Structure 1
Amino acid sequence: MKRKTFVLFPSLGVGHLNPMVELAKHLRRHGLGVVVAVIDPRDDDATSADATARLAAANPSVTFRILPAPATASPDPGAHRRTKGTGMVAKNWAPQAEVVQHEAVGVFVTHCGWNSTLEAIMSALPMICWPLYAEQAMNKVIMVEEMKIAVPLDGYEEGGLVKAEEVEAKVRLVMETEEGRKLREKLVETRDMALDAVKEGGSSEVAFDEFMRDLEKSSLENGVCS
C-alpha cells in the first residue's frame, strides 16, 4: 500500500536537520510514514555527523539511516538508528530513482528540480511542490498549472518555513481524496506519453535528429568543420 511520503532537499535548501525531523515526527504522529533525505555536502565533517547522531538519539520515533556516497560500498551498520514506523535518510546521498519507484511511496515532496521531476513522472508519482531557488519556481508553475501533475504548498513564498500541518494536508489530499485520484491518473497518462516519446521513432528521437541536422547545416553554412 502506498503510504510513505518521500521528502528530498538539496544541501543549499536546508541549513540543518531540525525542521525535517519535526516534519517527520508530525507526519508520523498523524499516521503518515515518511522518508526524508537531506543532502549534506560536508562528507567528512565530523561535527555534522555528530549533530546527526545527537538528533537520532533525541528522536527515537524517527528512523535515521546514514547512507554513504555512491562510491562507497555499503553503509556503516553502526550508524543506523532503527525504530518501527517513520524512516529518515540523512547525510549525503540517497538512491532517489529507486525510492520514487518503490511500491510503498505514494507522494513526493520535492524542491522541483527538473531531474527529480522527470524521475517522478517516469514513476507516475504525484508531487507536492516546495520550490527553493533558481528555476524551481518556474518548474512548479509548469507542473501545477500546465501539466497538472502536482500540487503546491502554501507558505514558502513569504520566505518562512512551510508548516507541518500544511504538508500533512497536501499529503492527505494526494493520498486520500478524489482530487488525488485524478492527479494519479494524470501522472499515469503523462508517464505513458513520456515512454512513447523516448521509443525508437518517438517525438524525442525525431526532435533530436532534427536538432542535429540543423546544427550540421549551420556548421556548414558558417564554414565550421564537423
Structure 2
Amino acid sequence: MYLSLLITFMCFAGEVFSSSLFSPCKKSDLPCIETTVNNALPKIFDGIPELGILKSDPQFIAVIDADLSALKYTFYNSTNYGYKNCEVSNLIINDDLTRISGKAVCPSLHMNGVYDMKGVLITLPIEGNGNYTFEGASFQLDFDIKLDKIKGSEGKTHLFIRKITYKPKALTPIQFNFQNLFNGKEDLAAVVKKFAKENWLDITLLLQDPIWEVSLDLLKTAVNKYLATFAIDDTILN
C-alpha cells in the first residue's frame, strides 16, 4: 500500500535520479535506486507535516464501504500498521518517466477498527458489528503506476500520478477476529471463527480489494501533494 509513495522520490531525468531523501543514482542503476528508495521509505511513512502529508504507518482510514454480491461490510476508524517493513524490488522504469512497475513485499501488516457486516461469508451467513482485527498478514503487491507531467505555475515540470494498477497476493495466513458476531451468540460465532481460520485465503480474496483501493487512494493524494512542490527540473545533476 505504500507503493505509490515510491513515486514521490523517483523524480529523475537525463542520466540521474536524486532528491533530498535519496542518494544520487544513475538512471540505469536500478539496484542503486531500489536501495535508496528502501532506505528512505521509513522517513516517508513518518509523514511530512510541513507539506500537510499524514503518516502512512500507522495509516488512518475513516470509512471503507463495500457492497459485494452477497456481502455488505463497512469498516470505521481503521488503522493499518506495518508499511515501514515493506521493501520494493524488481523496478522497471520507462525512459520518459511516465510508467513505473515493480513489486513490494510487506512481511507483517496489521489492521484494526470497527466493523458492521451482514450477508454470506463465502458459504456461511454472517452478521455482526463491533471491533475487529486482522493480524499476521504478509503480502506481495505487484504494481504498475502511470504518471503525467504537468507544468507548475513557476514554469517547471512536475509529476502527477494518474493511475495505480495493483495485484495483491497474501503470502501467509491472516487471522480474522470479528467481535460481537450475531449479537454475542458464541455458538454461532465459533462456527464462523473456525471457518475463517480454515478458509483465510478465500476470505482475503473476498474482502481485500475495497481495503486496498481506499488505502492506495489516500497514498496517491498524499504523493501528488508532495509532487506539486517537487520539480523534475531541479533533480537533474550536471
TM value normalised by structure 2: 0.24
Bigger share in strand: 2
Which structure carries more relative contact order (alpha carbon 8 Å, separation 6+)?
2
Which structure: greater helix fraction?
Answer: 1
